[in-house]
Amino acid sequence: MTFFKKILIANRGEIALRIIRACHELGIKTAIVYSDVDRNTLPVRLADEAICIGPAPASQSYLNIPAIISAAEITDAEAIHPGYGFLAENPQFVEACTASRITFIGPSAENIRIGGDKSRARQIMKRRGIPIVPGSGAPVLKEAEAMRISRKIGFPVIFKASAGGGGKGMRIVHEEKDLTRMYHTAQKEALAAFGIGDLYIEKYISDMRHIEVQILADNKGNIIHLGERDCSIQRRHQKLIEEAPFIFSDAKFRKKIGELAIKAAKAFKYRNAGTIEFILDRDKQVYFMEINTRIQVEHPVTEMVTGIDIVKEQIKLAAGQPLSLKQQDVKFSGHSMECRINAEDPERFIPSPGRVSLFVPPGGQGVRTDTAAYSGWTVPAHYDSLIAKVIVHGKDRDEAILRMRRALSEFIIEGIKSTIPFYQKVLDNPDFISGNFNTGFLDKNYTTK
């Protein structure tokens, strides 16, 4: 097979190291860009080449499109992998790569535009007969319009940023009297986070599960799914624990939601790796929520239950290779779970940057730790506080929980605070153990604000 000779990685931290490893296993050389505070990180050390592109602020380094394109040209990289975050969902970056004859390892610019325009994505799904949560058909630009639509569909409703993600620009409105305040708060947050204050409205479904389906698509329009993940354990709409498969899944449910995901991806003319996200209500009714046009933080749980390396598949697909698997070739085994370990106070969730005096990740049977941290490394204050992902695999969910407890108890991080104690509490919660939870679980059971 013909792949790229060299790939530039436009990211940092654990995902950059994850991509370097996949490239080296494929026999591909790597180059990486970095900011001056990331000079002594593992990805910079382990890549074949490294270029400093600016100071710590992301706007001057990891979001600096001209500098990244120049780095690719200087290193003769044929392709760029964006990882997640930063420029991973920036259509202008994709177009800049194309203009410079550099392959962007990910979906098309148009895929990303649709993925970033939540209201447009909903309209496409509605036309294709894919269930969507009742709501506005387009961005709601005035408060009076928001009030009219909210009254029509009935409270509670949720405002969401049309260009958003990661929980930014989202507010739940339980009663009419709160609408004005929540509308303007969500609008300001969306504007600050994405540069666009447009909101759309959905009926808020309580007791909902957040279920997503991993897809892979080649350039010929062939698409398969790799099963579902349950991402319902969230804090302020940010995922903290992810699992595969959904605890109450069976062959019938997986077939249904997988076919919906493929239908959605075909409607978008999607290519490369992506995730179709759904809301599942208490009656197991499935509604399309959004499409994520990048590798997800939680992709390892799918890799653990399928044995498929999603990052390698991304690279092969970007190189123009056809899908290496047919749907019937995808097999599922056991249960996997991931905990995102952040450099944060486990009680108040305040970032805890600083020097890591001792870092000993867990290992052993069925345990995988994705991290770029090490003893002596300093966690910078400039970026997301994620420092590690602990992923476990067991023959069933009970074994996965026991294995995760064991792994977290072995994890040694000194010099900074981490969220490990918080996860240990959640893993002992009877409702979590039984699967009796939804997206409101943490807010109900723990002080997470």
Q: Which residues are catalytic?
A: 294
- Burial (CB < 10 A; 0-12, 13-18, 19+), residue 397, is middle
Contact (CB, 8 A) for 115 and 291? yes
Cα torsion angle, 289, 295, 301, 305, sign: positive
Token pair belonging to 422: 């918080």
Q: How far is CA 92 from CA 99, 109, 278, 295, 331, in A?
A: 10, 7, 27, 18, 37
67/57 Cα distance (integer angstroms): 14
Token pair belonging to 151: 């009254």
Q: What is the DSSP string of 51-110?
A: EEEE-SSGGGTTT-HHHHHHHHHHHT-SEEE--SSTTTT-HHHHHHHHHTT-EESSS-HH
DSSP 245: S
38/333 Cα distance (integer angstroms): 38
What DSSP element (H or E) covers 337? strand 335-342
Pairing of strands 386-394, 335-342: antiparallel
Pairing of strands 6-9, 79-81: parallel
Contact (CB, 8 A) for 131 and 202? no
What DSSP element (H or E) covers 287? strand 286-292
- Give the CB-side neighbour count of residue 268, counting CA atoms within 13 A: 37
- 3-class SS at 303? helix
448/240 Cα distance (integer angstroms): 12
164/209 Cα distance (integer angstroms): 20
Which among 89, 108, 73, 104 is positioned nearest to 166, based on CA atoms?
89
289/222 Cα distance (integer angstroms): 23
Bridge partners, 310 (sequence order):
none
What DSSP element (H or E) covers 413? strand 412-414
- Block residue for tokens 């490394």: 377
